[in-house]
Amino acid sequence: MKTRAMDEALTRVREALDIDSGGNVEELEQALVELYDLGDPGCIEPLLLMLDDSSDYVAVLHNIVQVVEAFPLQIYIDRLLRILPRLATTSPFWSGILLKRILGSDQHLEHLLAFASTHKQAVQGALRDVAEALAEKNPNLQEKCRLVIDAVRGAVK
């Protein structure tokens, strides 16, 4: 039943984000609350893949970020890394936002560095690319981005 409820809530989020059908911010927020209450980490990847650089719902998309970040840190970062190659291609802006938020916490950064070396080269390459782009746009994050880039390069050797 939990999976069915999650699938239904994810469908409602997708439909609510569809501007062509009028979009429905209230429905989206209600579905996000349901997903949060279900606590099923299976929703992390589909939610992250709904982040869209061209969306007019920037504030609402931040709510998606908050829902996925509410999961245990190890689970959230692992799930993010799994889909990062795809997300970095389809939504580079949001990929940068997610990395920036992780870099804002030493604990989050520590977990990211630990998990990054355990993922495939495609994940490591995407993480490196996002970190390089973020460092270029945010000079104050260059040092932390360099840690990520160096960790990925060390893992690829």
pLDDT of residue 26: 85
pLDDT of residue 157: 46
pLDDT of residue 52: 92
- Residue by residue, DSSP assigns 42-100 as GGHHHHHTT--TT-S-HHHHHHHHHHHHTS-HHHHHHHHHHHHHHHHHH-HHHHHHHHH
The series of mean pLDDT values per 10 residues for the chain, 157 residues long, is 86 82 77 94 97 86 94 95 96 97 95 87 95 96 96 71
Give the amino acid at 90: T
Give the amino acid at 13: V
Tokens 């209450």 belong to which residue? 37
pLDDT of residue 22: 59
pLDDT of residue 25: 79
pLDDT of residue 27: 85
